């Protein structure tokens, strides 16, 4: 709350913020009502959705005609992937993948993209000169070289793969797909990418960015592919510009990315260039 106030925003909690039904903040209907109330309120300029689990459950309960008629910033990541992707797919509005204000790096990107309307070049943090001369923490790796342009789609791989086949996924044709995840064994990442491939989604994209898969280690059983091998199997074979290691995901410093915004990826440089303002 204080972080929002620090940059000049006044936070307001939904009526059911402190509600409880199991691991949810109230029933699905109550949570959907909070979202719709914020969209209908002209005094609300933006909505920030926290992670966890459950945003997919409210998608059938939202009024997308009302949302389309009352455009405002909708921001979140992790489980909120379902909400920001679903709203974009149903309304055509640009939504935002990223964290709220926090550390200096993430806050600067939040302010630049959402408050100043800048079309930024998203470049990973450089190596700390007092630590290592080679960037280890925020290093990018090219999967397939090249440059591609397209509309950004993506988010958390687990959540995105769980809504495949529904009406809440946008058209992937010519898109730049970005993905991230946390606490997933490599074989599960393999399984979820296979789901996207079998659904024909990967064959439609123009470019690919893999952020971070935090705590995604090979299983302790007999034998495992590495995450790099899994990405090579599913992505390198597409022959499209692709890289991994972008500052997207469950990490302290994160980019803010506009879902539906036009962008250019340079897989050799490991950068994402936003080609238009996400807000006006």
Taking the C-alpha atoms of residue 31 and residue 126, their distance in angstroms, rounded to an integer, is: 40
Q: What are phi and psi of 88, to 5 degrees?
A: -60, -45
Q: Which of 97, 109, 234, 250 is catalytic?
A: 250
Is 78 considered catalytic here?
A: yes
- Quick one: which of 91, 95, 65 has its CA closest to 80? 95
Could you identify the residue written with the tokens 């980019």? 255
Pairing of strands 147-156, 176-182: parallel
Is 250 considered catalytic here?
A: yes
Which string of b and e fits 267-277 if b means at least 16 CB within 10 Å? bebbbbbbeee
Q: Which of 88, 138, 161, 180 is catalytic?
A: 180
Taking the C-alpha atoms of residue 117 and residue 113, their distance in angstroms, rounded to an integer, is: 5
Taking the C-alpha atoms of residue 196 and residue 83, their distance in angstroms, rounded to an integer, is: 19
Helix (H), strand (E) counts: the chain: 9, 12
Q: Which of 78, 106, 161, 246 is catalytic?
A: 78
- Which burial class, exposed, middle or buried, applies to 221 when counting CB atoms under 10 A from its CB (0-12, 13-18, 19+)? exposed
Q: What are phi and psi of 21, to 5 degrees?
A: -140, 100
Neighbours of 73 (CB within 10 A): 19
Is 180 considered catalytic here?
A: yes
Sign of the C-alpha dihedral, residues 124, 242, 166, 212?
A: negative
Taking the C-alpha atoms of residue 215 and residue 182, their distance in angstroms, rounded to an integer, is: 6
**Catalytic residue set:** 78, 180, 250
């Amino acid at each position: 709350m204080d972080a929002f106030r620090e940059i000049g925003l006044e936070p307001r909690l939904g009526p059911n913020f402190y509600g409880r039904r199991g691991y949810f903040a109230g029933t699905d209907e109550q949570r959907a009502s909070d979202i719709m109330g914020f969209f209908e309120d002209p005094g609300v300029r933006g909505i920030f959705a926290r992670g966890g689990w459950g945003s997919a459950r409210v998608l059938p309960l939202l009024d997308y005609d009302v949302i389309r008629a009352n455009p405002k910033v909708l921001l979140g990541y992790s489980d909120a992937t379902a909400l920001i992707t679903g709203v974009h797919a149903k309304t055509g509005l640009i939504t935002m993948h990223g964290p709220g204000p926090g550390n200096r790096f993430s806050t600067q990107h939040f302010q630049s993209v959402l408050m100043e309307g800048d079309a930024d070049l998203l470049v990973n943090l450089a190596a700390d000169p007092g630590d290592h001369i080679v960037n280890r923490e925020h290093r990018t790796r090219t999967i397939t070289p090249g440059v591609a342009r397209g509309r950004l789609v993506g988010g958390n791989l687990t959540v995105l793969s769980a809504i495949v086949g529904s009406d809440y996924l946008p058209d992937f044709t010519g898109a730049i797909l970005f993905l991230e995840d946390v606490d997933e064994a490599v074989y599960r990442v393999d399984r979820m990418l296979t789901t996207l491939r079998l659904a024909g989604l990967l064959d439609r994209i123009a470019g690919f960015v893999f952020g971070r898969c935090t705590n995604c280690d090979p299983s302790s059983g007999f034998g495992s592919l590495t995450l790099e091998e899994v990405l090579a199997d599913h992505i390198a074979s597409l022959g499209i510009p692709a890289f991994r290691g972008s500052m997207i995901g469950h990490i302290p410093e994160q980019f803010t990315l506009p879902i539906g915004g036009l962008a250019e990826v340079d897989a050799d440089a490991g950068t994402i260039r936003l080609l238009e303002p996400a807000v006006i």
